[in-house]
Structure 1
Amino acid sequence: MQKAAVKQVSFPKGKRIIVISDIHGHLQNFQNLLKKVGYSKEDILVIDGDVLEKGPQSLATLRYVMQLAKEYTVYQVLGNNDWLWDELEMEDKQANEDLLDYMLSRNSIFNEMCMELGIKVSEQMDVTAMKRQLKAAFQAEWDYLRELPDILESEHYIFVHAGIESEDLQQQEKIKCVKNDWFFSREISFSRWCIVGHFPTCLYDKEKIDCAVLIDRKRKLISIDGGCVVKNSGQLNALIIPEDGSEEFAWDCVDDLPKAVAVQAQSASEQAHSIHWPDNVVQVIKQEGDLSLCREENSGIEMWIPSSLLVEWRGKMYTDETTDYQLEIDAGDEVSVVARTSRGALVKRNGLLGWYFGTLEDITENK
């Protein structure tokens, strides 16, 4: 068992602690969120893992964080998507084939590094030579990632990317700290606040889809991954702790969805059905314009889904998280627009996804 690396820290009183996780290479969202919460050198920033992968700018985001760490008070723990240096150390044929398949299927930090060096990623490339070049050219980046702890421990808080098995932090297994799905739904509690990311919060409520920060005061457990990049309705969340020892938590968020203002008010629907990963295989019953009536394969739930949210893969049809819930909206509310259809718009307000059937007025970038 590879044990987790634990870093102990003492936070000074009177400073805000801002916690962000699962940036996933979305530099613009990260910068916008820091600006929105008024981040300054008077604050402490904790990045709770997964700075890298899935998004458009992993390398630039990593370098931005590294520069912040030189000028500000920044702590970061390792996430499963940051644990990449082992890929460069393994030089057997199968490891090379797996890495190449990974690079051919998505934009990764490896692809971005190759682009910076002028290396063309193709099925014919010499993977062993590429690994040697990346190790040499980006030693500062790899060293930074390699030195990250798996757990950050203070008097009142435990920060870990995915989860821990107990508060005996010296006996934790590294892999379970960086990858521990459905952790918030487990029957586990703590004497100090345990703050995790890794698993999008929208997956925990089976009736509604809500990307908000989850705070369980009884168990002293907080989950903050808003699904940035990985969900169509996702967002980047920040947990705001007023000062060390405080339990007066607040949170804020940003996303890169179009913004609009609701003209008319509407009330919430009494019932809600949602389709979530991993039960998101659907059968299309019929199509009408830009909507598809679909039946979820396992539950049999039927609902109209924007056709733009359907993806066919390996002979099956999948949808991203979607719902038939009608949001409560007041006139003048600002919403994030996930999908517009001829019958209404799928929108998000305060992290909660639902339908709005009134008029939306677009907010221009300069407004």
Structure 2
Amino acid sequence: MEFETKVQFLTQPEHNRRTIVISDIHGHRAWLEKLLKKVDFSEKDILIIVGDMIEKGPESLNTIRYIMELCEKYTVYPMMGNVDLWRIQMLLTEDGSLDQELYETNERMRQYWKATFFQDFCREAGVSVKTPEEIPAAREAVVAKFQKELTFMKELPTILVTPAFTFVHGGLVHEKLEDNFHLPPFQLLKNDNFINQGKHFDKYVVVGHWPVCLYRSDIESSAPYISEEQKIIAIDGGCGIKRDDQLNALIIPDLYSEKTTWESVDDFPEAVVLEDQEAGASSINIRYYESELKILEPGPVFSLAEHIKTGYQLKIYNGFLEEPPVKGAPNTCWEYTDYQIPLKKGDRVSILQKTPEGTMVRKRGVTGWYYGKLEEAEK
């Protein structure tokens, strides 16, 4: 089944009506509920969901149904993401040409993330898929049972246009808005590393898809990334994908104004800082696509390493190191920062990793190491 780019226009929203923008929920219904509660979402607000509602989390089907319920009760504009479209396309292609891909994708997702969108469907439909040969019958049963959910998803728009903002999951290919309207949707939905493409726009383009922690090479931050010069706002906090993920909400007080704030939620324990700490003199943010390391001095907790791409030397927590894929190859690491984060006594932080020689914490989206005392925070 072929899909076309769908453009929705919100040309005359009410002035001074708050808009909450969330992307990349990835099957984390509980996080979405928690975030909406945190920002006090109500019938007075507009909610925009910028795609990738499913996969990589525990409740894909329940997340879709919850969003459908929100659409019935509130002013909600759900949008298509690349993962959403690809799953729908595999399910609704009747000639069997994508059945093998559906089976293989479901198996990969199930092994890594334990739960999948298709698995949710199959379980509720009472069918089991253990071999590729069982896909056609399972797909037919799923399509028959879940017409309401599948129709909701296949009708999602690719681009949402408002007075001061344009919303699209991955990013626009062309700087002139209208030139994107006839492109295949996947070009707009899976548009990696959008900000670093150097495009500039007349009004802000709000995107998800590419986790914002990948945009800086010095400091790891999951806060929304705003390029005022390019007029781009990226909001994907890495929910369900990154080790220190969070779910972000961009808050727009008025869709006619460019002003924004933001909030976030995560599932990490919290603590209160008991001692001040200054920022470190230098730092690195190692991204997954450039994570090769040379171990200079192994240690029991931290090892001294050299980042091969930049030559930067750092102490790295051994728990984040990965063995070379083949003997003699460089070590790699999970995405990592050695940033010594500035903190003040009384600051509240999320605890990402405890070690005998320091604690990796996050404050207001920024991840770094703290070497002072902490006490558990009250919920």
Moved more, 51-60 or 143-152: 51-60
Taking structure 1 as reference, are residues 88 and 3 closer, same or farther at Cα in structure 2, changes over 3 Å only?
closer
Give the corresponding residue for 2:220: 209
Give the TM-score, by structure 1 length.
Answer: 0.92
Give the corresponding residue for 1:231: 242
Q: Give 5+ residue unaligned stretches, structure 2.
A: 110-114
Q: Does 1:159 align with 2:167?
A: yes
Task: Provide the rounded CA distance (Å) in 2 between the counterparts of 1:93 and 1:305.
Answer: 48
Task: Provide the rounded CA distance (Å) in 2 between the counterparts of 1:286 and 1:360.
Answer: 29
1:290, distance to aligned residue in structure 2 (A):
4.2
Q: Does 1:335 align with 2:346?
A: no
Aligned pairs for 1:248-263 (under 5 A) are: 248-263=259-274
RMSD: 2.2
Q: Does 1:143 align with 2:151?
A: yes
Task: Provide the rounded CA distance (Å) in 1 between the counterparts of 2:240 and 2:342.
Answer: 26
The one-letter amino acid paired with 2:335 is E
Aligned pairs for 1:104-115 (under 5 A) are: 104-106=107-109, 107-115=115-123
1:199, distance to aligned residue in structure 2 (A):
0.6
Is 2:103–2:132's contact at 8 Å kept on the other side of the alignment?
Answer: no
Q: Does 1:87 align with 2:101?
A: no
Task: Provide the rounded CA distance (Å) in 1 between the counterparts of 2:79 and 2:88.
Answer: 15
Q: 1:185 is matched with which residue: 178, 183, 196? A: 196
1:116, distance to aligned residue in structure 2 (A):
2.2
Q: Does 1:303 align with 2:305?
A: no
Is 1:158–1:194's contact at 8 Å kept on the other side of the alignment?
Answer: yes
1:103, distance to aligned residue in structure 2 (A):
1.6
Taking structure 1 as reference, are residues 293 and 62 closer, same or farther at Cα in structure 2, changes over 3 Å only?
farther
1:35, distance to aligned residue in structure 2 (A):
0.7
The one-letter amino acid paired with 1:112 is D
Percent of aligned positions with the same letter in both sequences?
A: 36
Taking structure 1 as reference, are residues 128 and 314 closer, same or farther at Cα in structure 2, changes over 3 Å only?
farther
Taking structure 1 as reference, are residues 289 and 120 closer, same or farther at Cα in structure 2, changes over 3 Å only?
farther
Give the corresponding residue for 2:288: 277
Task: Provide the rounded CA distance (Å) in 2 between the counterparts of 1:12 and 1:108.
Answer: 38
Is 1:51–1:61's contact at 8 Å kept on the other side of the alignment?
Answer: yes
Taking structure 1 as reference, are residues 127 and 3 closer, same or farther at Cα in structure 2, changes over 3 Å only?
closer
Is 1:162–1:177's contact at 8 Å kept on the other side of the alignment?
Answer: yes
Moved more, 299-308 or 180-189: 299-308
1:273, distance to aligned residue in structure 2 (A):
1.6
Q: Does 1:119 align with 2:127?
A: yes
Is 1:52–1:58's contact at 8 Å kept on the other side of the alignment?
Answer: yes
The one-letter amino acid paired with 1:7 is Q
Is 1:306–1:339's contact at 8 Å kept on the other side of the alignment?
Answer: no
1:93, distance to aligned residue in structure 2 (A):
6.8
1:128, distance to aligned residue in structure 2 (A):
1.0
1:16, distance to aligned residue in structure 2 (A):
0.2
Task: Provide the rounded CA distance (Å) in 2 between the counterparts of 1:29 and 1:125.
Answer: 36
Q: Give 5+ residue unaligned stretches, structure 1.
A: none
Task: Provide the rounded CA distance (Å) in 2 between the counterparts of 1:113 and 1:307.
Answer: 40
Taking structure 1 as reference, are residues 115 and 295 closer, same or farther at Cα in structure 2, changes over 3 Å only?
farther
Taking structure 1 as reference, are residues 302 and 44 closer, same or farther at Cα in structure 2, changes over 3 Å only?
same
1:82, distance to aligned residue in structure 2 (A):
0.8
Give the corresponding residue for 1:33: 35
How far does the alpha carbon of each residue in 1:175-206 deviate from its partner, in whole angstroms, 9 at most, with x for none?
A: 12101011112221111221111111111111
What secondary structure does 2:290 align onto? coil
Is 2:293–2:305's contact at 8 Å kept on the other side of the alignment?
Answer: yes
Q: Does 1:351 align with 2:351?
A: no
The one-letter amino acid paired with 2:263 is D
Task: Provide the rounded CA distance (Å) in 2 between the counterparts of 1:54 and 1:93.
Answer: 25
Give the TM-score, by structure 2 length.
Answer: 0.90
How far does the alpha carbon of each residue in 1:286-309 deviate from its partner, in whole angstroms, 9 at most, with x for none?
A: 653444444444344443333333
Moved more, 48-57 or 273-282: 273-282
